[in-house]
């Protein structure tokens, strides 16, 4: 519930859930560089500066999710340098990676977005794919009435 509240507060404060805009508003620099296909991105803290580095070769929806994940580190674990987010390890192995995935999912798919589809027969996986959330992490979405 704490992570959902953090997402809601960020969206309300900055009037957006776009991780690229949020990073800009929060003074988190984003850099895109070509990296190995397995590396999606990482978060770096150095001398009171925060950086997100994204793999320039990612498809747009994965870039957006990766940006949300790394931005989540800047919010939840601001002074921790995180290891590379790898495409073959979207299932988090550590607590901070799981927390970052949870916040990324809550940012990209707020409850209000799900409510827009309540009169359809769409599954959460179908709705999640519209918002660019990988199926591997969609189970982290918590919906409260």
Burial of 48 (0-12, 13-18, 19+ CB in 10 A): exposed
Q: Tell me the per-residue pLDDT of 32-58, one tens digit each, with 9 for 90 and over.
A: 999 988 889 999 999 899 999 999 999
* Tokens (6 digits) for 140: 């982290």
Of 1-5, 11-15, 23-27, give the lowest mean pLDDT range. Answer: 1-5
Give me the CATH code for the 2-138 domain, please: 1.10.10.2910
pTM beyond cutoff 0.75:
yes
């Amino acid at each position: 519930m704490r992570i959902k509240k953090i997402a809601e507060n960020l969206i309300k404060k900055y009037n957006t859930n776009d991780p690229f805009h949020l990073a800009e508003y929060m003074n988190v620099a984003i850099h895109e560089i070509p990296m190995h296909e397995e590396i999606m991105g990482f978060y770096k803290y150095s001398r009171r500066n925060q950086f997100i580095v994204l793999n320039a070769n990612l498809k747009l929806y994965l870039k957006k999710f990766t940006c949300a994940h790394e931005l989540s580190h800047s919010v939840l674990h601001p002074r921790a340098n995180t290891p590379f987010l790898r495409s073959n390890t979207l299932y988090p192995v550590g607590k901070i990676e799981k927390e970052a995935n949870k916040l990324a999912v809550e940012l990209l798919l707020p409850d209000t977005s799900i409510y827009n589809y309540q009169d359809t027969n769409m599954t959460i996986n179908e709705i999640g794919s519209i918002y660019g959330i990988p199926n591997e992490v969609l189970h982290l979405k918590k919906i409260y009435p």
